[in-house]
Amino acid sequence: MSDTQFAPLQNDRFLRALLRQPVDRTPMWMMRQAGRYLPEYRATRAKAGSFMDLCRNTELACEVTLQPLERYPLDAAILFSDILTIPDAMGLGLYFEEGEGPKFKKPVRTSAEIAALEVVNTAKDLSYVTDAVTTIRRELNGRVPLIGFSGSPWTLATYMIEGGSSRDFARAKEMLYNRPRDMHQLLTVLADSVIDYLNAQIRAGAQAVQIFDTWGGALSHSAYREFSLNYMARIVQGLIKEQDGRQVPVILFTKGGGQWLEAMADTGATALGLDWTTDIAQARARVGDRVALQGNMDPSILLANPERIREEVAAVLAGFGSGTGHIFNLGHGVTPKVDPAHAGAMFDAVVELSPQYHQ
């Protein structure tokens, strides 16, 4: 897929900040920016029938990806999909119970079940995702860059082993400690699948990618490095570095990963996502100019009044300080009960307050 098939990029503020190049203001986007807090999203999802039907419908996935750009002055769009598309393509039977989150009909728990897994062939098994990427990129018409994404191998493994969401990851951790060989075999298949998946998204038109390590923070210090970070490093090394004359930045986001920032920077990632438990000023002092930083306002602050939201935006911007290399975002996804006007207040504050840090 050549860039000549897409319109030239009019706003590259997000990509420039990821590469720590000068920008006029801090770029911004929001995790889960296309989601249940928007009434127009809820209407489109109802039209689709189910969450996965929405993901698999190219036109509707494109529609919901673009919805937040109609409301807010965002600097990036993110593909509308789910982190569990890879295990679903492995035949585990992904489904969603109302109010309970994702579940799998066929969890992976035995050595034989792990040995039977094969690396996903994105072109064959997940073409609906790459079709959506190409469609969204074309519809964006150069307005802002498009972010592709995947779950991290450890995060995907937890859902596959537990059969869904978990509070303590008992089955996954039991395998990790009692049967580390099985766990490494599973994570290797997943890492190679993620490499294929993200590279396919890049070839289809994604201009940056993010790896969501949602449950890395549930691991001990040594287990995180061995069972999560090592596999994300493998992915970073296996990704397409440049497409159509532009570098393709990679963002690593480990929720609860503030203690490992230096090690995360060692992977070769372009940027690190921070959750709200990490002080952004301290994070910048620790990693210096090695990586850009993305984040990191507590999503719950969007439940507060607009004046309080503006104060928190000012605090995050001041925490990072002057210079480039900051992408404003929440420390995790926006929650369903947020008033869309409150998200608007946050973005307005970034537009108003951030230029002073880029003089």
Active site residues: 32, 36, 45, 82, 159
Q: Binding residue per annotation — 181?
A: no
Task: Tell whether 26 is in a known binding site.
Answer: no
The answer to the question of whether 128 is labelled as a binding residue is: no
The annotation status of 258 as a binding-site residue, yes or no, is no
Count helices and strands in the chain by DSSP H and E runs: 17, 11
DSSP string of 47-116? HHSSHHHHHH-HHHHHHHHHHHHHHS--S-EE----TTHHHHHTT--EEEETTTEEEESS---SHHHHHT
Q: Does 275 show up as a binding residue in the annotation? A: no
- Going by the DSSP 8-state scheme, the letter that residue 25 receives in this structure is S
- Mention every residue, 6+ apart, whose C-beta is less than 8 A from residue 98: none
Annotated binding residue 207? no
Which residues are paired to 208 by β-bridges? Answer: 147
Amino acid at 48: A
Q: Is 332 annotated as a binding residue?
A: yes
Going by the annotation, the residues of the binding site for substrate are 32-36, 82, 159, 214, 332
* Binding site residue list: 32-36, 82, 159, 214, 332
